[in-house]
Amino acid sequence: MGKALRCGLRGAKGLAAPCEAVGLCYATQGPRKREPSRVFYFFSKILDVFLTPLMWATVLILVGVSGSSRRRRAWAVSGVALLLGFSLEPVSNALLRALEYPEVRTFRPDVTYDVVILLGGVVEDRAQASSGQRSFNDNNERLLETFDLLRKDKARFAIVSGGPVDSVRSKVVEAQALADQLVSWGVDPARVIVEDHAKNTYENALDSAAIVHARGFHSILVVTSAFHMKRALGCFRAVDLDVDTLPVDFRSYTNPYTGELIPRAKFLEESTIALREWFGRGIYRARGYAK
Answer yes or no: do 110 and 196 share one domain.
Answer: yes
C-beta separation of 64 from 72 below 8 A:
yes
* Domain annotation covers residue 203: yes
* Domain annotation covers residue 253: no
* Domain annotation covers residue 205: yes
C-beta separation of 272 from 249 below 8 A:
no
Answer yes or no: do 110 and 210 share one domain.
Answer: yes
**CA torsion sign, 30 to 34 to 39 to 45?**
negative
- Dump pLDDT digits (tens) for 202-257: 999 999 999 999 999 999 999 999 999 999 999 999 999 999 999 999 999 987 66
* Domain annotation covers residue 238: yes
Which whole number is the average pLDDT over 87-102? 95
* Share above pLDDT 90 across residues of the chain, in percent, rounded to a whole number: 68
Answer yes or no: do 202 and 283 share one domain.
Answer: no
Measured distance CA(84)–CA(90) in Å, rounded = 12
Q: pTM for the full model? A: 0.84
* Domain annotation covers residue 111: yes
Answer yes or no: do 222 and 177 share one domain.
Answer: yes
- Dump pLDDT digits (tens) for 183-201: 999 999 999 999 999 989 9
Q: Number of structural domains, the chain?
A: 2
**Domain containing 165: what range?**
5-32+104-248
- Dump pLDDT digits (tens) for 120-141: 999 988 888 889 888 899 999 9
What pLDDT was estimated at residue 19? 45
Measured distance CA(114)–CA(205) in Å, rounded = 16
Contacts of 236 (CB under 8 A, 6+ apart): 205, 208, 209, 222, 242, 243
Answer yes or no: do 162 and 239 share one domain.
Answer: yes
Listed residue (248, 274, 232) closest to 93, CA to CA: 274
Which whole number is the average pLDDT over 60-88? 91
The identity of residue 251, as a single letter, is R
Answer yes or no: do 74 and 147 share one domain.
Answer: no
